[in-house]
Amino acid sequence: MSCQHIEDLDRGTPLRESETMITLEIDGELVTVPEGTSIMRAAMEMGTKIPKLCATDSLEPFGSCRMCLVEIEGRRGYPASCTTPVAAGLKVKTQSPKLADLRRGVMELYISDHPLDCLTCAANGNCELQDTAGEVGLREVRYGYEGANHLKSEKDESNPYFSYDPAKCIVCNRCVRACEETQGTFALTIDGRGFASRVAPAGGKDFLDSECVSCGACVEACPTATLIEKSVIKIGQAEHAIETTCAYCGVGCGFKAEMRGNELVRMTPSKNGQANHGHSCVKGRFAWGYATHPDRMTKPMIRKNITDPWQEVSWDEALSYAASEFRRIQAKYGRDSIGGITSSRCTNEETYLVQKLIRAAFGNNNVDTCARVCHSPTGYGLKQTLGESAGTQTFDSVMKADVVIVMGANPTDGHPVFASILKRRLRQGAKLIVIDPRRIDLIDTHHGRAQYHLPLRPGTNVAMLNALAHVIVTEGLVAEDFVTERCDMVSFNKWREFVAMPENSPEAMEVVTGVSAEDIRAAARLYATAGNGAIYYGLGVTEHSQGSTTVMAIANLAMATGNIGREGVGVNPLRGQNNVQGSCDMGSFPHEFPGYRHVSDLATRQLFEDAWGVTLQSEPGLRIPNMFEAALDGSFKGLYCEGEDIAQSDPNTQHVTAALSSMECIVVQDIFLNETAKFAHVFLPGSSFLEKDGTFTNAERRISRVRKVMPPLGGKADWEVTIALAKALGYDMHYNHPSEIMDEIARLTPTFHGVSYDKIDKLGSIQWPCNEHAPEGTPTMHIDEFVRGKGRFMISRYQPTDEKTSKRFPLLLTTGRILSQYNVGAQTRRTENNAWHSEDRMELHPVDAEERGIVDGDWVGVASRAGETVMRAHVTERMQPGIVYTTFHFPESGANVITTDNSDWATNCPEYKVTAVELIKVNQPSEWQKRYREFSEQQAELLAARKARNVQTA
Ligand code: SF4
Ligand code: SF4
Ligand code: SF4
Ligand code: FES
DSSP code of 577? Answer: B
At residue 903, the pLDDT reads: 82
In three state form, how does the secondary structure of 149-161 look?
Answer: CCCCCCCECCCCC
Question: 1: helix, coil or strand?
Answer: coil
Please tell me the distance between residue 247's alpha carbon and the centre of ligand 3 in angstroms: 8
Question: 666: helix, coil or strand?
Answer: strand
**Element holding 449 (H helix, E strand):** strand 448-449
At residue 576, the pLDDT reads: 78
Q: What is the mean pLDDT of residues 879-905?
A: 86
User: Whole-angstrom Cα distance, residue 268 to residue 222?
Assistant: 13
DSSP code of 502? Answer: G
Q: Is residue 249 within 8 Å of 242, Cβ to Cβ?
A: no
User: Whole-angstrom Cα distance, residue 670 to residue 818?
Assistant: 23
Residue nearest to atom 1 of ligand 4 (CA): 52
Please tell me the distance between residue 609's alpha carbon and the centre of ligand 3 in angstroms: 38
Please tell me the distance between residue 273's alpha carbon and the centre of ligand 2 in angstroms: 20
Considering only 143-157, 202-216, 273-287, 821-835, which range has the smallest mean pLDDT? Answer: 143-157
The string of DSSP codes covering 260-321 is ETTEEEEEEE-TT-TTTTT---HHHHHTTGGGG-TT---S-EE-SSTTSPPEE--HHHHHHH
Instruction: Categorize the per-residue pLDDT at 5 as very low, low, confident or very high, splitting at 50, 70 and 90.
Output: very low
At residue 205, the pLDDT reads: 84
User: Whole-angstrom Cα distance, residue 501 to residue 483?
Assistant: 20
Instruction: Categorize the per-residue pLDDT at 129 as very low, low, confident or very high, splitting at 50, 70 and 90.
Output: confident
Residue 357: Cβ-neighbour burial (10 angstroms; 0-12, 13-18, 19+):
buried
Residue nearest to atom 2 of ligand 2 (CA): 215
Please tell me the distance between residue 66's alpha carbon and the centre of ligand 1 in angstroms: 15
Phi, then psi, of 463 in degrees rounded to 5? -60, -45
pLDDT cut 90: percent of the chain above it? 77
Instruction: Kindly state if the Cβ of 56 falls inside 6 Å of ligand 3.
Output: no
User: Whole-angstrom Cα distance, residue 822 to residue 829?
Assistant: 8
pLDDT at residue 151 greater than cutoff 80: no
pLDDT at residue 951 greater than cutoff 60: no
- Whose CA is closest to 478, among 406, 512, 503, 489? 489
Question: 582: helix, coil or strand?
Answer: helix
Residue nearest to atom 8 of ligand 2 (CA): 179
Instruction: Kindly state if the Cβ of 55 falls inside 6 Å of ligand 4.
Output: yes
Alpha helices in 781-903 (DSSP H): 846-851, 895-898
Please tell me the distance between residue 516's alpha carbon and the centre of ligand 2 in angstroms: 37
**Element holding 405 (H helix, E strand):** strand 403-407
Centre a 10 Å sphere on the Cβ of residue 223 and count the other Cβ atoms it contains. Answer: 24
Q: Tell me whether strands 162-164 and 533-537 are parallel, antiparallel or unpaired.
A: unpaired
Q: Is residue 882 within 8 Å of 848, Cβ to Cβ?
A: yes
pLDDT at residue 953 greater than cutoff 70: no
Please tell me the distance between residue 69's alpha carbon and the centre of ligand 4 in angstroms: 8
At residue 44, the pLDDT reads: 95
pLDDT at residue 124 greater than cutoff 90: no
Please tell me the distance between residue 724's alpha carbon and the centre of ligand 2 in angstroms: 45
- Residues near 799 by beta carbon (within 8 Å), at least 6 away in sequence: 462, 545, 546, 549
pLDDT at residue 411 greater than cutoff 70: yes
User: Whole-angstrom Cα distance, residue 286 to residue 160?
Assistant: 9
Q: Is residue 909 within 8 Å of 373, Cβ to Cβ?
A: yes
Centre a 10 Å sphere on the Cβ of residue 150 and count the other Cβ atoms it contains. Answer: 18
Q: Is residue 900 within 8 Å of 916, Cβ to Cβ?
A: no
User: Whole-angstrom Cα distance, residue 632 to residue 663?
Assistant: 9
Please tell me the distance between residue 255's alpha carbon and the centre of ligand 3 in angstroms: 10
User: Whole-angstrom Cα distance, residue 837 to residue 542?
Assistant: 26
Q: Tell me whether strands 431-435 and 452-454 are parallel, antiparallel or unpaired.
A: parallel
Q: What is the mean pLDDT of residues 727-742?
A: 97
- Whose CA is closest to 386, among 194, 143, 555? 555
Over residues 798-847, the pLDDT tens digits come to 999 888 899 999 999 988 888 888 887 888 988 999 999 999 999 999 99
Instruction: Kindly state if the Cβ of 281 falls inside 6 Å of ligand 3.
Output: yes
Instruction: Kindly state if the Cβ of 111 falls inside 6 Å of ligand 4.
Output: no
Four-point Cα dihedral 548, 550, 552, 558, nearest 10: -150
Instruction: Kindly state if the Cβ of 212 falls inside 6 Å of ligand 2.
Output: yes
User: Whole-angstrom Cα distance, residue 358 to residue 588?
Assistant: 10
**Element holding 844 (H helix, E strand):** strand 841-844
Determine what percent of the chain falls in helix, strand and coil, rounding each to the nearest 5: 35, 20, 45
Cis peptide upstream of residue 738 (ω within 30 degrees of 0) = no
pLDDT at residue 145 greater than cutoff 60: no
- Whose CA is closest to 912, among 435, 454, 542? 542
Q: What is the mean pLDDT of residues 394-419?
A: 96
β-bridge partners, 791: 487
Distances (CA, A) of 898 to 279, 459, 460, 536, 652: 37, 17, 20, 28, 6
Compute the chain's Rg from CA coordinates.
29
Considering all CA atoms of the chain, what is the largest pairwise distance in Å, rounded to the nearest integer?
A: 93
Residue 557: Cβ-neighbour burial (10 angstroms; 0-12, 13-18, 19+):
buried
Alpha helices in 680-791 (DSSP H): 718-728, 738-748, 757-763
Highest mean pLDDT: which range of 372-386, 525-539, 640-654? 525-539
The bound ligand whose nearest atom lies closest to the alpha carbon of 217 is 2
Angle at 340 between CA 911 and CA 828, to 5 degrees: 60
User: Whole-angstrom Cα distance, residue 363 to residue 344?
Assistant: 22
Considering only 349-353, 824-828, 836-840, 935-939, which range has the smallest mean pLDDT? Answer: 824-828
Instruction: Kindly state if the Cβ of 49 falls inside 6 Å of ligand 4.
Output: no
User: Whole-angstrom Cα distance, residue 749 to residue 743?
Assistant: 10
- Whose CA is closest to 284, among 250, 260, 239, 259? 250
The bound ligand whose nearest atom lies closest to the alpha carbon of 576 is 3
pLDDT cut 70: percent of the chain above it? 96
User: Whole-angstrom Cα distance, residue 267 to residue 285?
Assistant: 5
- Residues near 835 by beta carbon (within 8 Å), at least 6 away in sequence: 160, 208, 820
Q: Which residue pairs from 609-612 have beta carbons closer than 8 angstroms and sit at least 24 positions apart in sequence?
A: 611/744, 611/747, 611/748, 612/356, 612/359, 612/360
- Whose CA is closest to 703, among 586, 605, 793? 586
Residue nearest to atom 8 of ligand 3 (CA): 284
Please tell me the distance between residue 445's alpha carbon and the centre of ligand 2 in angstroms: 15
Alpha helices in 357-447 (DSSP H): 376-385, 411-414, 416-427
Highest mean pLDDT: which range of 127-141, 161-175, 434-448? 161-175
Which of ligand 3's atoms lies nearest the C-alpha of 276? 4
Per-chain mean pLDDT for the chain: 92
Instruction: Categorize the per-residue pLDDT at 945 as very low, low, confident or very high, splitting at 50, 70 and 90.
Output: confident
pLDDT at residue 446 greater than cutoff 70: no
The bound ligand whose nearest atom lies closest to the alpha carbon of 215 is 2
Q: What is the mean pLDDT of residues 852-856?
A: 96
DSSP code of 501? Answer: S
User: Whole-angstrom Cα distance, residue 596 to residue 839?
Assistant: 38
Instruction: Categorize the per-residue pLDDT at 141 as very low, low, confident or very high, splitting at 50, 70 and 90.
Output: low
Task: Assign residue 678 a region (left: φ > 0; alpha: ψ between -120 and 50; beta: otherwise).
Answer: alpha
Q: Rounded to two decimals, what is the model's pTM?
A: 0.93
pLDDT at residue 917 greater than cutoff 60: yes
User: Whole-angstrom Cα distance, residue 486 to residue 44?
Assistant: 47
